[in-house]
Amino acid sequence: MTTILIVDDSRVARLSLRRLVLKLVPDAEIIEAASADEAAAAVDGVSVDRALIDFNMPGRNGLELAEQLAAEHAEIRMAMVTANIQDAVAGRAEALGMSFIAKPPREEDMQGFLLGAGQGAA
């Protein structure tokens, strides 16, 4: 079974991502978090395959969370799912090996990330 972490401070965005993930990966186990700290606690001791992470969140941003996840859970493939398409954000995400999916996410982009092979595939 595939376990997918969805991190976004917007409940509506999390629900939308959940719906799209389950459309593409119907048997996925989904862990949701509203902040970087909540996400880090939720995956402690859990094997996660994919992470969909928003950039703008209260407290630590999505890149700070991604750095922690990369250090502690190297096996997780991560995607930055954000409307913040600044070159600096995209560059840092790319340096971490993350995929970059613009909001609102298109099904084709999500499919490439969720079902594609290898880090950074989108």
Instruction: Report the CATH number that the domain containing residue 8 is assigned in CATH.
Output: 3.40.50.2300
Q: Which residue type, as a one-letter code, is found at position 48?
A: V
Question: What pLDDT, on a 0 to 100 scale, did the predictor assign at position 117?
Answer: 56
pLDDT digits (tens, 9 = 90+) for 56-109: 999 999 999 999 999 998 889 999 998 877 788 888 888 888 998 988 999 999
> H or E element: which one contains 80?
strand 77-82
pLDDT above 50 for 118: no
Question: What pLDDT, on a 0 to 100 scale, did the predictor assign at position 46?
Answer: 92
Question: What pLDDT, on a 0 to 100 scale, did the predictor assign at position 13?
Answer: 95
Residue 60's domain comprises 3-115
122, part of any domain: no
121, part of any domain: no
Within the chain, what is the greatest distance between any pair of CA atoms? 35
Domain count, the chain: 1
72, part of any domain: yes
- Is there a cis peptide before residue 104, judged by omega within 30 degrees of 0? yes
The residue-averaged pLDDT of 46-51 equals 95
Cβ-contact 69, 49 below 8 angstroms: no
57, part of any domain: yes
Burial of 64 (0-12, 13-18, 19+ CB in 10 A): middle
What are the phi and psi torsion angles at 77 (to 5°)? -85, 130
Question: What pLDDT, on a 0 to 100 scale, did the predictor assign at position 36?
Answer: 97
pLDDT above 80 for 113: yes
The residue-averaged pLDDT of 8-19 equals 96
β-partners of residue 4 are 30, 50
